[in-house]
Chain A
Amino acid sequence: MVKICMKLNKYYHANLFRIMIGIFFLIIGALVYLIDRPSNSTYFVYHYNFMLNFHNIIPNIFGPLSNSLPDFIHVFSFIMITAGVLSCGKTGGLIVSIFWLLIDTSFEIGQKYPSVPLKFIPDSFSNTPILEATKCYFQEGTFDIIDLFAIMLGSIIAYLLILITIEKRKVVLKN
């Protein structure tokens, strides 16, 4: 696996470090749902937890952070993964960060005004795994201004990390 990643890294110039950070934080994000929330409160834990639920076994380690931490982690992780795969520089990193900031923000705002996104959700989603939760996401989800701050913070930190992890490639000039 590592060899494959290394080959991909060499061939496509992906920034593995960013991808690994993104995946690591995604796992932490999943733990928020698996540890701090009851198994029946979240769609993917309820349907796809593979019987791995630690709620009431491990103390709630994330405490009050668990409310907005997933929003922070989602935007942060996907910015890192995207920037890692595309191996973005300064400008590319900024575009990726703004892009995910807009995606996550629009989903959060969609929870405040659910009637708007619900118009665009096709009925066929209700029979498709995962997509069937789209309606629930907007109807049952609660808009929180702190979540918006978490999304912005996640985007800013991710962008700063992109700047730190820009790889300087060796340019080989062929004569």
Chain B
Amino acid sequence: MKNNFIKCLSFLIILFIGILFLIASASTPKQTAAPLTKSVRKPSLVPVENYPQTIEKNGVRISVEPYEFTIHKKMMTLLRPQSSLISVRGKSYYNVITQPVLLTPQKLKFKVRINNNLDHVLRLAGSVLAFQVNNKSIATDDSKSHNNFLNGIILPRQQSEFVISGPKISTLSENDPIAFLLYDLTTKTDSAGNATERTNFEWFYKVHFENVTVQVPPTTKESGYFTKAEAESLNKKMSDIQ
């Protein structure tokens, strides 16, 4: 009698465990969760009235065009080392977190196109390139693009293009006036090459912001074993969103 009871009980326990095993083998929910929405503050520059984007003075025509603010959606992989019961062939256990990242420009950018209509070479060296926000000069921290510009030499009847980095977007507020200033550009020289005429160019803009919502895939978490080198190469790796 006791024996039968124990066998019955054992059978029920096995049945329960068997069903639990079946259920535990269930697939985890597929990553079909609704995409996340992220908000981005998108700046746009509007030229101030009566200040054209293209200015022609003393034989030099310069047009300035702000770059479109672009948002690149990427997935960033982050590897977080975890403690593990085993280490296989020098591999360690990591949590692999893949999260959406929005790559946006940190600074305003301008495309500057210069047409030299003079009958001599136009050297940009010696001119002064500056930005003002709210009538205050600001440092742009980008000597590379400025040096490229200031080392520019444009042959007669030729055109050159430059990309100039401007103020940091994070420092700007709605309706801030922004001035792009190019002063003391040598437009005339004497026979010895000394500047006899210097010309100033000015462009004025107002900055406007709009909140743009972007849909991105949700963050996913996996885990696995990686060597240190593999983990370092994978960590912070960016991939395109498909």
Provide the bound-state CA to CA distance between A161 and B87, in Å.
38
Contacts of A107 in B (CB 8 A): 22
Q: Is the CB of B14 within 8 A of A85?
A: yes
Provide the bound-state CA to CA distance between A130 and B82, in Å.
23
Cβ of B85 under 8 Å from chain A: yes
Cβ of A12 under 8 Å from chain B: yes
Q: Is the CB of B85 within 8 A of A43?
A: no
Distance to closest chain B CB from A107 (angstroms): 5
Cβ of A41 under 8 Å from chain B: yes
Contacts of B21 in A (CB 8 A): 26, 74, 78
Binds A, one of B139-147, B194-202, B215-223: B215-223
Provide the bound-state CA to CA distance between A86 and B19, in Å.
18
Q: Is the CB of B18 within 8 A of A43?
A: no
Using an 8 Å CB-CB cutoff, how does the interface string of A37-54 with B read, 1 for contact, 0 for none? Answer: 011111110101011111
Contacts of A82 in B (CB 8 A): 11, 14-15, 18
Answer whether A57 and B223 are a contact pair too, CB < 8 Å, given A43-B28, A78-B14, A82-B11.
no
Label chain A's interface by main secondary structure: helix
Q: Is the CB of A86 within 8 A of B26?
A: no
Q: Which of B29, B221, B223 contacts A53 (CB 8 A)?
A: B223
Interface centre among B6, B25, B84, B85 (most CB of A within 10 A): B25
Contacts of B86 in A (CB 8 A): 52
Q: Is the CB of A86 within 8 A of B11?
A: yes
Binds B, one of A136-144, A152-160, A167-175: A136-144
Contacts of A51 in B (CB 8 A): 82-85, 93, 223
Distance to closest chain A CB from B20 (angstroms): 5
Q: Which of A40, A43, A103 contacts B223 (CB 8 A)?
A: A40
Contacts of B3 in A (CB 8 A): 12
Cβ of A91 under 8 Å from chain B: no
Q: Is the CB of A39 within 8 A of B223?
A: yes
Answer whether A54 and B26 are a contact pair too, CB < 8 Å, given A12-B6, A82-B11.
no
Which chain B residue shows the least CB distance to A22? B14
Q: Is the CB of A134 within 8 A of B11?
A: no
Q: Is the CB of B24 within 8 A of A133?
A: yes
Cβ of B72 under 8 Å from chain A: no
Q: Is the CB of B23 within 8 A of A57?
A: no
Provide the bound-state CA to CA distance between A131 and B7, in Å.
25
Cβ of A100 under 8 Å from chain B: yes
Distance to closest chain A CB from B115 (angstroms): 58
Distance to closest chain A CB from B95 (angstroms): 10
Q: Is the CB of A137 within 8 A of B224?
A: no
> Which residues from chain B sit less than 8 Å from chain A, CB to CB?
3, 6-7, 10-11, 14-15, 18-30, 82-86, 88-89, 91, 93, 220-225
> Which residues from chain A sit less than 8 Å from chain B, CB to CB?
12, 26, 33, 38-44, 46, 48, 50-58, 70, 74, 78, 81-82, 85-86, 100, 103-104, 107, 130-131, 133-134, 136-137, 139-141
Q: A40-B221, A46-B28, A56-B224 are in contact. List 5 more A-B contacts (CB 8 A).
A: A57-B91, A74-B22, A131-B23, A137-B25, A140-B26
Those 10 A-B pairs whose CB atoms lie nearest each other, nearest first = A137-B26, A44-B24, A140-B27, A133-B26, A78-B18, A136-B26, A43-B26, A40-B222, A57-B225, A51-B84
23 contacts between A and B (CB under 8 A): A12-B7, A40-B28, A40-B220, A40-B223, A42-B25, A42-B27, A42-B28, A51-B83, A52-B86, A56-B224, A57-B88, A57-B91, A57-B224, A57-B225, A85-B7, A85-B11, A86-B11, A107-B22, A133-B23, A133-B24, A137-B22, A140-B30, A141-B27
